[in-house]
RNA sequence: GGUUUCGUGGCCGAGUGGCUAGGCAGCGGUCUGCAAAACCGUCCACAGCGGUUCGACUCCGCUCGAAACCUCCA
């Protein structure tokens, strides 16, 4: 089966066939977090979106290098008039070294991303560790004539750049509008044009984060790190650059301009942007003060949360929407996701039991070559496998993929051991389908079974066997006593035709 | 004001020029010692107004509404 993957390229605003620059290899750069605050739901979206892309590219057989940066210098606080470095501000408040703050929040970020089963990228470079590369890039842009030096700061000359190239091609902005929209140039502004942006900024005396440079002590402009680090680790032309839609302008637009100016050509083939998570229809973000941290989600400690939500619920919630759509947060929606995920996972467990119930010995090779096996499966199963691939190949449409997986759930739940209608091969193909799409690609895992281990499983087998005996003698008192006691331990017993099943909470 | 995008049923959320999205909730059944689960069936839709078309939720235009980014700043 041949997989033709189509990716929506923000640059062309169409879905394009993914053809890697170097066959069999894929390079991907994604804008990571600025580590000055606890990770919130807004951080989870791009992390999970591009984790999905990473996983799927790997699944398709590409050798992927996935680079996601840690921004630990340079950003300025938007709502502070002084325009201080975000990390520097926080450092003064908490009386810590700036790098101590960055380290703390980077660790927090990794911790919560691990909880969400987000795979670690191949490389996670830090801006602070690439000051030299950034300085070299500024020098290249200066040499090329697209930047100018003022009082120890270097600015990118957007107007000059626009005479040859198209500044605005990614975000659809028109330079004349950008220029004409800003008549109120203040006297102290060093920039020639309002649209210009800093490549290197001179550090003010109170500025803690600073590095020496050919232009004096300062720090890099915030668009620069991504250009410098993507070039360093992925080369001057690479496949995918991703990030949130909020970064489209000016960040990514400026990255394009920087690379064009420094390298002489564009560096990115496919631009991908995930949409925002909204809360009451409004973007969830640090600067808006309406964000909910991941820790608050996992513990349920936020006024607007009715309960705690476990990491897989949040992952599933995010994957139920297409990555280019806004996703509106609400307790109702999350609870629906929680139930849906539970249904999916329990169906998977049921499938495994169905396979256990069969006395056939599956060929160990069948797991690796399951797509060949799928060709021989019943038509509806075979079609299901195809549909799952089709939905992923259509710009990673996880919403559709999940709807197909629920078709698999229906098939599995309708199957009975006593009156089997599926071939044993079908069951094995379904198992591989779950393994591939639910576990490997969507990255969903059954937290309960992982946590509990074999001990609990064995104990439950025993308890349920004893209860079954009491039920056979119609000793409902004992039967219900066991069930009620287990329920108090958050273990639900479900009696079916083929014995009793159980699950934790 | 500019740029980009969106407006789908009780909630979330896909998609398409004519054919079922899916999940959650509701309703009616089946099963069951009871409960839960599961299965079957079912209700609720495409912001408004025009246009193109044999036919539009799907294309075009306008109106209304919403969001992100920009408009001060790196």
Residue A111: CATH number of its domain: 3.40.50.620
Q: How far apart are CA A165 and CA A248, in angstroms?
A: 18
- Å separating the CA of residue A170 from the C1' of nucleotide B9: 36
- Whether A10 is in a domain gets the answer no
A456 and A435 both lie in a single domain? no
- Whether A6 is in a domain gets the answer no
A417 and A469 both lie in a single domain? no
> What's the N-to-C CA distance of chain A in angstroms?
40
Cα–Cα distances in Å, from A279 out to A113, A329, A333, A397? 21, 5, 11, 23
* C-alpha closest to that of A55 among A318, A375, A294, A398: A398
* C-alpha closest to that of A46 among A34, A62, A36: A34
Non-local (6+) Cβ contacts of A279 within 8 A are A290, A292, A304, A328, A329
- Whether A34 is in a domain gets the answer yes
- Å separating the CA of residue A173 from the C1' of nucleotide B74: 19
Helix, strand, coil content of chain A in percent (nearest 5): 50, 15, 35
| Cβ-contact A302, A292 below 8 angstroms | yes
Q: How far apart are CA A271 and CA A8, in angstroms?
A: 8
Looking at residue A270, its pLDDT comes to 93
| Cβ-contact A203, A217 below 8 angstroms | yes
Looking at residue A285, its pLDDT comes to 72
User: Which contiguous run of DSSP H or E holds residue A218?
Assistant: strand A218-220
Looking at residue A361, its pLDDT comes to 63
Q: How far apart are CA A42 and CA A213, in angstroms?
A: 35
A350 and A385 both lie in a single domain? yes
A267 and A353 both lie in a single domain? no
A228 and A303 both lie in a single domain? no
CATH number at residue A305: 1.10.730
A300 and A224 both lie in a single domain? no
Q: What are phi and psi of A211, to 5 degrees?
A: -140, 150
- Whether A288 is in a domain gets the answer no
Over residues A6-59, the pLDDT tens digits come to 999 988 888 889 999 999 999 999 999 988 888 988 899 999 999 999 999 999
Looking at residue A418, its pLDDT comes to 67
Question: Domain of A236?
Answer: 19-274
Looking at residue A288, its pLDDT comes to 67
Non-local (6+) Cβ contacts of A441 within 8 A are A52, A55, A56, A59, A392
Looking at residue A405, its pLDDT comes to 94
A451 and A436 both lie in a single domain? no
Q: Residue A3 CB closer than 7 angstroms to strand B?
A: no
Residue burial A460-473, b: 16+ Cβ < 10 Å; e: rest: beebbeebeebbee
Looking at residue A364, its pLDDT comes to 61
Q: How far apart are CA A200 and CA A127, in angstroms?
A: 13
Nucleotide showing the shortest C1' distance to residue A275 CA: B68
Helix axes A253-263, A224-234, angle to 10 degrees: 60
Non-local (6+) Cβ contacts of A118 within 8 A are A47, A48, A51, A443
Dihedral of alpha carbons A430, A431, A437, A442, sign: positive
Q: Residue A498 CB closer than 7 angstroms to strand B?
A: no
Looking at residue A250, its pLDDT comes to 87
- Å separating the CA of residue A182 from the C1' of nucleotide B71: 7
- Whether A457 is in a domain gets the answer yes
A135 and A257 both lie in a single domain? yes
Protein-covered nucleotides on strand B (Cβ within 7 A): 1-5, 10-15, 21-25, 31-40, 66-74
A155 and A213 both lie in a single domain? yes
Domain count along chain A: 3
Over residues A123-138, the pLDDT tens digits come to 999 999 999 999 999 9
Cα–Cα distances in Å, from A483 out to A210, A285, A353, A464, A493? 64, 45, 21, 9, 6
Q: Which of residues 218-237 of A touch strand B (CB under 7 A)?
A: 221-222
Which of A441, A456, A477 is the last residue before a domain boundary? A441
CA atoms within 13 A on the CB side of A451: 7
Q: How far apart are CA A146 and CA A315, in angstroms?
A: 43
Q: Residue A400 CB closer than 7 angstroms to strand B?
A: yes
C-alpha Rg value of chain A to the nearest Å: 27
Q: Residue A171 CB closer than 7 angstroms to strand B?
A: yes
A263 and A328 both lie in a single domain? no
pLDDT in tens, chain A (505 residues): 568 899 999 888 888 899 999 999 999 999 999 888 889 888 999 999 999 999 999 999 999 999 999 998 854 433 333 445 667 666 666 667 788 888 999 999 999 999 999 999 999 999 999 999 999 999 999 999 999 999 899 999 998 998 899 898 888 887 776 666 544 444 346 888 888 899 998 887 777 788 999 999 999 988 999 999 999 999 999 999 999 988 988 899 999 999 999 999 999 999 999 998 888 777 777 666 678 899 999 988 888 888 889 899 999 999 999 999 888 888 888 999 999 998 999 899 888 888 877 766 666 666 678 888 888 888 889 989 999 999 999 999 999 999 999 999 999 988 876 677 788 889 999 999 999 999 999 999 987 655 556 677 778 778 888 888 888 888 888 888 888 888 888 788 877 766 777 777 6
Which of A441, A465, A481 is the last residue before a domain boundary? A441
Nucleotide showing the shortest C1' distance to residue A414 CA: B39
- Whether A203 is in a domain gets the answer yes
Helix (H, G, I), strand (E, B) or coil at A348: helix
Cα–Cα distances in Å, from A332 out to A16, A307, A337, A470, A488? 36, 11, 9, 40, 25
Q: Residue A322 CB closer than 7 angstroms to strand B?
A: yes
Which of A404, A423, A441 is the last residue before a domain boundary? A441
- Whether A2 is in a domain gets the answer no
- Whether A14 is in a domain gets the answer no
* C-alpha closest to that of A346 among A390, A405, A282: A405
A131 and A97 both lie in a single domain? yes
Q: Which of residues 80-99 of A touch strand B (CB under 7 A)?
A: 83
A436 and A471 both lie in a single domain? no
Looking at residue A132, its pLDDT comes to 94
């Amino acid at each position: 089966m041949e997989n033709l993957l189509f990716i929506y390229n923000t640059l062309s605003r169409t879905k394009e066939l993914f053809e890697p620059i170097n066959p069999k290899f894929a390079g991907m750069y994604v804008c990571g977090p600025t580590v000055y605050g606890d990770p919130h739901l807004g951080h989870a979206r791009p992390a999970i979106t591009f984790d999905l892309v990473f996983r799927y590219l790997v699944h398709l057989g590409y050798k992927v290098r996935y680079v996601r940066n840690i921004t630990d210098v340079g950003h300025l606080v938007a709502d502070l008039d002084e325009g201080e470095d975000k990390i520097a501000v926080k450092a003064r408040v908490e009386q810590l070294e700036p790098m101590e703050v960055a380290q703390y929040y980077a660790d927090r970020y990794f911790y919560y991303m691990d909880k969400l089963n987000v795979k670690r990228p191949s490389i996670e470079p830090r801006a602070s560790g690439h000051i030299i590369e950034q300085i070299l890039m500024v020098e290249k842009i200066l040499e090329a004539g697209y930047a100018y030096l003022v009082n120890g700061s270097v600015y990118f000359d957007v107007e000059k750049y626009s005479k040859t190239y198209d500044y605005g091609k990614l975000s659809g902005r028109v330079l004349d509008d950008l220029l004409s929209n800003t008549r109120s140039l203040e006297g102290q502004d060093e920039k020639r044009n309002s649209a210009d942006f800093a490549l290197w900024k001179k550090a003010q005396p109170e500025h803690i984060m600073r590095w020496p440079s050919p232009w004096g002590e300062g720090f890099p402009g915030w668009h620069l790190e991504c250009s410098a680090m993507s070039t360093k680790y992925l080369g001057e032309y690479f496949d995918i650059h991703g990030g949130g839609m909020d970064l489209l302008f000016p960040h990514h637009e400026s990255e394009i301009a920087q690379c064009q100016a420094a390298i002489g050509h564009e560096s990115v083939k496919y631009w991908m942007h995930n949409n925002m998570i909204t809360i009451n229809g409004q973007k969830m973000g640090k600067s808006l003060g309406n964000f909910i941290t991941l820790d608050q989600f996992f513990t349920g400690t936020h006024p607007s949360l009715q309960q705690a939500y476990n990491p897989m619920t949040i992952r599933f919630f995010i994957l139920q929407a297409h990555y280019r759509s806004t996703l509106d947060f609400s307790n109702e929606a999350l609870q629906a996701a929680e139930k849906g995920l539970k249904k999916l996972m329990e169906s998977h467990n049921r499938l495994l039991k169905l396979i256990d119930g069969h006395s056939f010995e599956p060929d160990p090779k069948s797991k690796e070559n399951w797509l060949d096996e799928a060709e021989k499966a019943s038509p509806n199963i075979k079609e299901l496998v195809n549909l799952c691939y089709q939905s992923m190949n259509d710009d990673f449409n996880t919403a559709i993929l999940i709807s197909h997986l629920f078709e698999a759930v229906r098939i599995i739940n309708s199957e009975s051991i006593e009156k089997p209608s599926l071939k044993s091969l079908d069951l094995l193909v379904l198992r591989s389908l779950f393994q591939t799409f639910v576990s490997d690609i969507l990255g969903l895992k059954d937290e309960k079974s992982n946590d509990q281990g074999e001990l609990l499983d064995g104990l439950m087998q025993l308890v349920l066997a004893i209860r079954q005996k009491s039920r056979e003698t119609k000793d409902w008192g004992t039967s219900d006593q066991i069930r009620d006691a287990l329920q108090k331990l958050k273990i639900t017993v479900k009696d079916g035709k083929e014995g009793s099943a159980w699950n934790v909470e």
